[in-house]
Amino acid sequence: MVYSKIYKSSRFIKKYILLLCRYRIFSSCVYNLIKKNMARPIESQLYRELVDSRFIFIERGIIEINEIYNAVKRQYPDLCDDEFTCVHHQNVGIGQSEWKHTVRTALLRCRRIYDNVEFSGRRGYWIFT
Ligand SMILES: [Zn+2]
């Protein structure tokens, strides 16, 4: 609950700053810095769909992250834009699509709120029950 409150308020603050930027109160460089860290509507929609789905379309068992990506892409082809690369992890996973980052974020969220999604403890492997 606390997490989601912080998350929501930080989104609100970002939106407010973006609004101020529109009126040229902040420099365009600050604007770009914040803008690039905000999810686009397509990734936001993918996130919502994935969290709502509880990853129920994934095969049950210990599943490797690349298999998860493939299943997500089969399930939501229109929400997986391979052309748009992640701007958040410039050192890790260089050139990886942002939608894959969205999948990992959704997995972390599901692990916290549902019983059927767990991290295996081994990097890149998730358990679906
Ligand atoms: Zn990213």
The total of structural domains in the chain comes to 2
100 in the same domain as 55 = yes
Confidence of residue 90 (pLDDT cuts 50, 70, 90): low
What is the whole-number distance in angstroms between the Cα of residue 113 and the centre of ligand 1? 22
47 in the same domain as 13 = no
57 in the same domain as 110 = yes
91 in the same domain as 34 = no
What is the whole-number distance in angstroms between the Cα of residue 33 and the centre of ligand 1? 13
What is the whole-number distance in angstroms between the Cα of residue 115 and the centre of ligand 1? 26
What is the whole-number distance in angstroms between the Cα of residue 22 and the centre of ligand 1? 24
70 in the same domain as 29 = no
17 in the same domain as 48 = no
107 in the same domain as 45 = yes
33 in the same domain as 43 = no
Q: Find, among 125, 119, 105, 44, the residue nearest to 79 by Cα.
A: 44
31 in the same domain as 48 = no
Q: Find, among 95, 89, 118, 105, the residue nearest to 49 by Cα.
A: 105
Q: What do you get for the CA distance between the two ends of the chain, in Å?
A: 24
Tell whether pTM > 0.85: no
Predicted local confidence at residue 108, as pLDDT:
97
For residue 74, give the CATH number of its domain.
1.10.10
What is the whole-number distance in angstroms between the Cα of residue 41 and the centre of ligand 1? 13
pLDDT (tens digit per residue) in 32-85: 666 666 779 999 999 999 999 999 999 999 999 999 999 999 999 999 999 998
46 in the same domain as 5 = no
What is the whole-number distance in angstroms between the Cα of residue 1 and the centre of ligand 1? 24
- How far is Cα 110 from Cα 52, in angstroms, rounded to an integer? 9
What is the whole-number distance in angstroms between the Cα of residue 65 and the centre of ligand 1? 16
In which domain, by residue range, is 1 found?
1-38
What is the whole-number distance in angstroms between the Cα of residue 3 and the centre of ligand 1? 20
Predicted local confidence at residue 88, as pLDDT:
80
Confidence of residue 98 (pLDDT cuts 50, 70, 90): very high
What is the chain's mean pLDDT, rounded?
Answer: 85
Predicted local confidence at residue 94, as pLDDT:
64
Give the residue, 37 or 87, on which the prediction is more confident: 87
68 in the same domain as 33 = no
124 in the same domain as 92 = yes
pLDDT (tens digit per residue) in 17-31: 777 767 666 666 666
